[in-house]
C-alpha cells in the first residue's frame, strides 16, 4: 500500500480574504472610536452647560433671598452698607463656575397699569430684571439667566 500525498498549489486565498476582513474591521473600530470621542465631548459640554445654568439659578435665588423685602424704587443706587442691594455670590453653591449678577430696575409706576388684583389703584409697582451670567473658567462656556422680580411700593414712591 502506497500513501500518496497530493500537493496542491496553494494560492493564499484564505490569507487575502482574512487580511481584507481585518482591514474592514479595523476601519469599523476606528470609526466607532471617533464617534465615541465626539459623544463624550458632547456629554461633557452638556454637563458644563447644565452646571452653569444651575449655578446661575442658585445665584439669582440667593440674591432674591438676601434682598427679601428690600426691592423698592431706587434701592439699586443706594450704597450696599446703607440699605442698597446685597450682591454676594453664593460661594458655597458654586461648583467651579464664576457667577456675576446684574440687577436692573426696569419700571416703576402706578399699580393700576399692571393690574389691580392685590389692592387699590394708589399702589406703586416696581419691576427688576436680575441677570446672572455663569461661566466655567476651566471648560469654557457661559450661561445667562434672566429672572424678573416685581414688588409693590407705597403710593408716591416712584
Q: Considering the entire predicted model, what is its pTM?
A: 0.66
Residue 137, H or E segment: none
Closest-CA residue to 55 (of 128, 129, 127, 137): 137
Order of strands, edge to edge, in the sheet holding 124-135? 98-110, 124-135, 142-153
pLDDT at 24 over 90: yes
- Is residue 7 very low, low, confident or very high in pLDDT (cuts 50, 70, 90)? low
Mean pLDDT, the chain, rounded, equals 80
Domain ranges, ordered by start, for the chain: 13-153
Question: Over the stretch 54-113, which tens digit does the pLDDT of each residue have?
Answer: 888 988 888 888 888 788 888 887 776 666 777 766 555 566 778 888 888 888 887 765
Amino acid at each position: 500500500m502506497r500513501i500518496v500525498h497530493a500537493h496542491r498549489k496553494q494560492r493564499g486565498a484564505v490569507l487575502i480574504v482574512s487580511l481584507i476582513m481585518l482591514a474592514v474591521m479595523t476601519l469599523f473600530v476606528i470609526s466607532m472610536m471617533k464617534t465615541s470621542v465626539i459623544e463624550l465631548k458632547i456629554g461633557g459640554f452638556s454637563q458644563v452647560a447644565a452646571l452653569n445654568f444651575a449655578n446661575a439659578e442658585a445665584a439669582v435665588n440667593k440674591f432674591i433671598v438676601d434682598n427679601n423685602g428690600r426691592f423698592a424704587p431706587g434701592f439699586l443706587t443706594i450704597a450696599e452698607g446703607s440699605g442698597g442691594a446685597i450682591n454676594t455670590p453664593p460661594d458655597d453653591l458654586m461648583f467651579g463656575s464664576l457667577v456675576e449678577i446684574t440687577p436692573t430696575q426696569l419700571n416703576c409706576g402706578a399699580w393700576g397699569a399692571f393690574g389691580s388684583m392685590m389692592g387699590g389703584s394708589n399702589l406703586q409697582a416696581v419691576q427688576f430684571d436680575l441677570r446672572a451670567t455663569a461661566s466655567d473658567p476651566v471648560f469654557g462656556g457661559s450661561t445667562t439667566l434672566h429672572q424678573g422680580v416685581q414688588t409693590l411700593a407705597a403710593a408716591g414712591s416712584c
